[in-house]
Amino acid sequence: MKKVYIETYGCQMNVNDTEVVFSILGKAGYERTESIDEADVIMANTCSVRDNAEQRIHGRIEQFNLQKRTRKVTVGILGCMAERLKGDLLDSGKVDVVAGPDAYRNLPALLEAASEGHPQMDVTLSKEETYGDISPVRIDKNGVSAFISIMRGCNNVCSYCVVPYTRGAERSRDCRSIVREACECGTKGYKELTLLGQNVDSYNFEGTTFAQLLAMVAEACPDVRVRFSTSNPQDISDEVLYTMSAYPNICHHIHLPVQSGSNRILEKMRRRYTREWYLDRVARIRSIMPDCAITTDVIAGFCSETEEDHKDTLSLFEKVRFDAAYMFYYSERPGTLAARKYPDDVDIDTKTRRLEEIIALQNKLSLESNRRDVGKCFDVLVEGPSKKGQSQLCGRTGTGKMCVWEDSAHKAGDHVRVKVTDCTQATLLCKL
């Protein structure tokens, strides 16, 4: 049996895609290895969302090639960077196989041909492929949490974003295959499912909406926690919020990327909502689910962003009081609308300084959010030993916050009830 090693970069969807690839390759007679030194096939499932993500992969390709000095190996690049750079990756002579996100069924054939010395590429994007019939081979170690992709691609074309170019048009997966996979996960002992899509609220399979899908999954697996990501402020519906509040196993956490607090910048980003609309959605979420955590993504220093625009972002953060945030500075992506239309004119020092200001503010807000939980009790799903070691366990609340507590009686997958006694900005310190 040939051994295959895959490193995964980028978003949760890429993690799930790697699981799909292991399933496809498993059926074709490949065995998974976690050791690069014993692999016959070495691949990276890549991300193009920011330039530094791509730079890392270029470094890894060099490392992979060192393996070729001692034995025969096939090096493959999968995912978003494969789709973006296409044949350029083969030109270097360091990569033998290039396969885009919709080409994974073809991987066994590509690897076979490449191992005979003919470099291979398939970057065809599909309007239908959802890998709906494939049971992913889970790569997470604890066996507690699983990802389920409910759709692929994206039709939004936000001006800064490369995803619509690397993942193609949006398509929704058959809801029956999603429910089947959810049940399979439940039977295998998984305790938490995360439904994944770039814009889950635009899920639509033959008339079944995201809210309906969410209810179907929650009902099919009443003992399993259900999460989802990512919600788009322009599309998140009250129906989804009511469904979340109706089912006790749907977690009260919404990841709602805002990107900027300035209307002028939001328009240039082609985000189809305003600051006011966003704040209104947040108010709606909190009126229906007062305990719901809200997290976000933000980009500092987008084209033409002024100090005024930046202050609008800071003030929006103050107003919303996010529980957590992923924060980035703008990285121009070739081929996107912004790269074609707007100069990347905020200098790197200003981008960095603005990003640092947002991070400092969010650190304060995260700490405040955690302090509000001190004294409260939560149901926590145990993920395993904490970083500190065996006598301390860790796990998350339904709102997605990391808890740690002393415990020698429970194990990964158990539900425990904890009381928060103290906190840091990143963690709730608890006791059973």
Of 225, 244, 318, nearest in space to 279 by CA: 318
Query: Minimal distance in Å, beta carbon 12 to ligand SAH?
Result: 10
Q: Which of 144/158 has CB closer to ligand SF4?
A: 158
Q: Residue 54 or 102: which CB sits closer to ligand SAH?
A: 54
Size of the site for ligand F3S (CB under 6 A): 13
For the chain, give the longest Cα–Cα distance.
64
Q: How far is the CB of 299 from ligand SF4 (least distance, A)?
A: 9
Among 10, 119, 186, 413, binds ligand F3S (CB under 6 A): 10
**Among the listed residues 41, 80, 285, 355, the single contact to ligand F3S using CB under 6 A:** 80
Residues from 138 through 167 that contact ligand F3S (CB under 6 A): 162-163, 166-167
What angle in degrees, to the nearest 10, is found between the helix axes of 307-320 and 348-373?
10
Distance between CA atoms of residues 317 and 154, nearest Å: 26
Rule CB under 6 A: say whether 49 interacts with ligand SAH. yes
Contact pick of 45, 198, 295, 397 for ligand SF4 (by CB under 6 A): 198
Residue 88, helix vs strand vs coil = helix
In the complex, what is the shortest distance from the CB of residue 280 to ligand SAH, in angstroms, rounded to a whole number?
18
Closest CA to 191 of 220, 215, 225, 142: 225
Contacts with ligand F3S in 50-79 (CB under 6 A)? 79
Interatomic CA distance for residues 164 and 350, integer angstroms: 28
Nearer to ligand SF4, 196 or 289 (CB): 196
With contacts defined by CB under 6 A, name the span among 44-52, 87-95, 132-140, 181-189 that binds ligand F3S: 44-52
Give dist(CA 258, CA 290) in Å, integer. Answer: 20
φ, ψ for residue 250, nearest 5 deg: -90, 125
Q: Which range in 88-96, 156-164, 386-394, 401-409 contacts ligand SAH by CB under 6 A?
A: 156-164
For ligand F3S, which residue of 13, 200, 265, 325 counts as binding (CB under 6 A)? Answer: 13
Instruction: Compute the distance between CA of residue 254 and CA of residue 284 in angstroms, rounded to an integer.
Output: 12
Q: Tell me which of ligand SAH, ligand SF4, ligand F3S, none is bound by residue 357, counting a contact when its beta carbon lies within the kind-specific cut-off of 5 to 8 angstroms.
A: none
What span, in angstroms and rounded, lies between the C-alpha atoms of 24 and 33? Answer: 15
Residue 67 lies near ligand SAH (rule: CB under 6 A): no
Residue 328 binding partner per list ligand SAH, ligand SF4, ligand F3S, none, with a CB distance cut-off of 5 to 8 Å that depends on partner kind: ligand SAH
14 lies in the binding site for ligand F3S (CB under 6 A): yes
| Residue 159 one-letter amino acid | S
Q: Which of 203, 205, 330, 378 lies at the binding interface for ligand SAH (CB under 6 A)?
A: 330
Considering the rule CB under 6 A, would residue 48 count as an interface residue with ligand F3S?
Answer: yes
Distance CA 123, CA 139 (A): 24
How far apart are the C-alpha atoms of 73 and 66, rounded to whole Å?
Answer: 10
Smallest distance from ligand SAH to CB 321, Å = 19
Rounded Cα gap, residues 408 and 170, in angstroms = 46
What tokens does 414 get? 């158990």
Q: Which is nearer to ligand SF4, 161 or 293 (CB)?
A: 161
Q: How far is the CB of 126 from ligand F3S (least distance, A)?
A: 15
Q: Phi/psi zone of residue 23: left (φ > 0), alpha (ψ -120 to 50 degrees), beta?
A: alpha
Ordered DSSP codes for 307-373: HHHHHHHHHHHHHH--SEEEEEE----TTSHHHHHS---S-HHHHHHHHHHHHHHHHHHHHHHHHHH
User: What's the min distance (Å) between Cβ of 156 and ligand SAH?
Assistant: 7
Residue 215 DSSP code: H
Q: Is 156 in the site for ligand SF4 (CB under 6 A)?
A: yes
**Residue 164 touches which of ligand SAH, ligand F3S, ligand SF4, none (Cβ within 5-8 Å per kind):** ligand SF4
Rule CB under 6 A: say whether 297 interacts with ligand SAH.
yes
Report the nearest approach of ligand SF4 to the CB of residue 32 (Å): 29
State both tokens at 278. Answer: 């966003």
Give me the amino acid identity at 313.
T
Q: Does position 399 bind ligand SAH by CB under 6 A?
A: no
User: N- to C-terminal Cα distance for the chain?
Assistant: 47
CB 118 within 8 A of CB 109: no
| Residues 5, 134, 89, 71, Cα dihedral to 10° | 30
Question: Does 320 participate in binding ligand F3S (rule CB under 6 A)?
Answer: no
DSSP for residue 250: B
Query: Which spans of this chain sit near ligand F3S (rule: CB under 6 A)?
Result: 10-11, 13-14, 47-49, 79-80, 162-163, 166-167
Query: Which spans of this chain sit near ligand SAH (rule: CB under 6 A)?
Result: 49-50, 160-161, 163, 198-199, 230, 232, 257, 259, 297, 299, 328, 330-331, 333
Query: Which spans of this chain sit near ligand SF4 (rule: CB under 6 A)?
Result: 154, 156-158, 161, 163-164, 198-199, 232
